Amino acid sequence: MKSNSFWKLSAWKLKDVILASLIAVLFAFICFAVVHFVAFTLTPLLAPVGFGDLAMEFVFGIFFMSAVFAPYIIRKPGVATIVGTMTGVVQILMGSAFAATLLISAFVQGLGSEAAFAVFRYKKFNILTVILASLGATITSFILAWYRGSWSEVIPTIVILRFVIRALSACLFSGIISKLLADRLAKAGVLKSYPIGQIRSGNEPISD
């Protein structure tokens, strides 16, 4: 049974907050590296044919990873949104040039991922939930990008192509890879005091 306080922010323990922040910092670092790597390699190569901005779509799933990885471990309401937003904040503080866009998109991605976990009322955490969360983040981030990039001025074929590439990338990186990573970490035994580790070891999760 999930108690009433499960849904409140006060149910977060300090160790959850620290782990959430750690995940945000780690993935912010990875996102920062990936954005700049792609912007300097793949984008200029594809730019002359007009496909330059498609390059970013291939790695877009990496930007959703924290918003799927963290709730899969901590399993509390709000984790996806908060960690997603934190990842944006940390990237801004690192001095990412894409900062002002980042924060809102980070928040929106978090919301999209959160929706998928909320549909299952934070009880089911399997490959299906994780993939749905990735797709949720894809959809919300895509709607935002539509307005931001003024994509109504681009022919629909390109927009659909972008969506498909982004969705596939999200399923691969934030869906499959982040689940595998979390499962391996749980197997290594470092997440024993978090819900994912307790369920794995066969104990009932400790309810507060």
Partner 1 sequence: MFNFLSKINPFYKFVFIIVSSTILTFLHFLWLNVAVFGICLLLLFLGAPSKQFLKALKFLIPVSILAFSLFMSGIHFGVDASSELGSVSFESTQNGLNMSTRVFAFASLGLLFALTTDSHALIKSMQKEAKLPRKFAYGMLCAVNLLPYMKQEYQHARLAFLVRGERIHFFSLKPIFSMLVHCFQWSETLSIAMFSKGFYEDGSI
- Contact window for partner 1 (CB under 8 A) among 59-67, 96-104, 131-139, 198-206: 96-104
Cα distance between residue 157 and residue 136, in whole Å: 22
Residue 97 binding partner 1, by CB under 8 A: yes
Q: What are the b/e assignments for 190-203, b being 16+ CB within 10 Å?
A: ebeebbbbbeeeee
Residue 55 binding partner 1, by CB under 8 A: yes
168 in Cβ contact with 156 (< 8 Å)? no
| Residue from 1, 4, 123, 153 in contact with partner 1 (CB under 8 A) | 153
114 in Cβ contact with 81 (< 8 Å)? yes
Residue 143 binding partner 1, by CB under 8 A: no
Count of residues binding partner 1 (CB under 8 A)? Answer: 67
Cα distance between residue 174 and residue 180, in whole Å: 10
Catalog residues that contact partner 1 under the rule CB under 8 A.
9-10, 12-15, 17-22, 24-26, 29, 35-36, 39-40, 43-44, 46-56, 86, 89-90, 92-104, 144, 147-150, 152-155, 157-158, 181, 184-185, 188, 190-191, 193
